[in-house]
């Protein structure tokens, strides 16, 4: 059964076309390629061949022997991805990441209307009660994790939020949003029914997904990477993805000029 997303967000094993990857580049210099990754693209190479991942596709597209992935996103998260062209640039950026000389800013659509800015400071660890091995949950004895969520617009029972993770735990934003009672819209794994994740893994997009999920993918977008390292002070950005913009217009009642003004005011384009 085919899903509603023409951009392959509902496909289990989508492939990148050589004709489209160039349109995703938002910035390039001698050191880095900066991409605006769509929400259906896998970052890391997979067994399905080079055109099944961003890194593999970049290598083929540019004829590179290596493409160094500095930042990564889950497949269904869209936005800024930084790939270094050579080892020295990769080392510089990765060191900044490791030393937390990088500020990450996301835009997320949340279920429910978040009333006020909120700091979630809750430890995260493996969700031992879940059938899904990769799932993370708030739990005693977990690793320290902190996420700041700020509502930018509320409407239609949803919230457009700026999200800034202060730590880098696996699935941190999504797990903290669920704990807060405002899961990310379209999230199969950290939504209100995680069995949708297992069903998608087995069967792809189904009628039950269409009934229960407001979007075919998790509504999370990496909007900015701010490097503030002594030797690397750069900002990389990606505009809010078209499918999330459409949701804000149609389901939350914010027209395009108003959304653009809001994002410009927040320095998020």
Share of the chain above pLDDT 90, in %: 74
**Model confidence at 224: pLDDT above 60:** yes
Strands (E), 8-87: 25-28, 32-37, 68-69, 78-84
CATH class of the structural domain 21-265: alpha beta
* pTM exceeds 0.85, yes or no: yes
CB 113: neighbour CB atoms within 10 A? Answer: 15
Contacts of 22 (CB under 8 A, 6+ apart): 61
**Model confidence at 4: pLDDT above 80:** no
Q: Higher-confidence residue: 192 or 253?
A: 253
**Model confidence at 189: pLDDT above 80:** yes
- Among the listed residues 132, 268, 133, the one whose alpha carbon sits nearest the alpha carbon of residue 199: 132
CB 231: neighbour CB atoms within 10 A? Answer: 9
29 CB burial (10 A radius; 0-12, 13-18, 19+): exposed
Confidence at 13, pLDDT banded by 50, 70, 90: low
Q: Which residues are catalytic?
A: 74
Question: What's the CA angle centered on 128, arms 122 and 131, to 5 degrees?
Answer: 120
Tell me the β-bridge partners of 119: 148
* Domain chopping of the chain, boundaries: 21-265
């Amino acid at each position: 059964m085919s899903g509603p997303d023409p951009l392959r967000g509902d496909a289990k094993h989508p492939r990148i076309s050589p004709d489209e990857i160039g349109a995703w580049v938002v910035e390039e210099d001698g050191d880095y390629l900066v991409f605006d990754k769509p929400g259906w693209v896998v970052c890391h190479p997979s067994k399905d061949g080079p055109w099944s991942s961003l890194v593999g596709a970049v290598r083929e597209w540019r004829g590179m022997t290596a493409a160094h992935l500095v930042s990564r996103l889950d497949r269904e998260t869209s936005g800024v991805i930084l790939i270094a062209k050579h080892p020295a640039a990769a080392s510089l950026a990765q060191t900044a990441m490791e030393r937390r000389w990088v500020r990450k800013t996301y835009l997320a659509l949340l279920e429910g209307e978040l009333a006020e800015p909120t700091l979630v400071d809750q430890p995260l660890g493996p969700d031992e009660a879940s059938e899904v091995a990769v799932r993370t949950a708030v739990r005693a004895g977990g690793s320290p994790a902190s996420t700041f969520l700020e509502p930018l617009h509320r409407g239609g029972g949803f919230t457009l939020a700026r999200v800034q993770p202060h730590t880098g735990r696996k699935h941190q934003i999504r797990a903290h949003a669920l704990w807060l009672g405002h899961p990310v819209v379209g999230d199969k794994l950290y939504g209100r029914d995680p069995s949708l994740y297992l069903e998608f893994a087995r069967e792809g997009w189904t009628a039950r997904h269409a009934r229960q999920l407001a979007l075919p993918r998790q509504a999370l977008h990496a909007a900015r990477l701010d490097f503030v390292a002594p030797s690397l002070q750069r900002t990389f950005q990606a505009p809010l993805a078209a499918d999330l913009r459409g949701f804000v217009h149609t389901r939350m009642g914010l027209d395009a000029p108003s959304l653009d003004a809001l994002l410009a005011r927040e320095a998020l384009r």
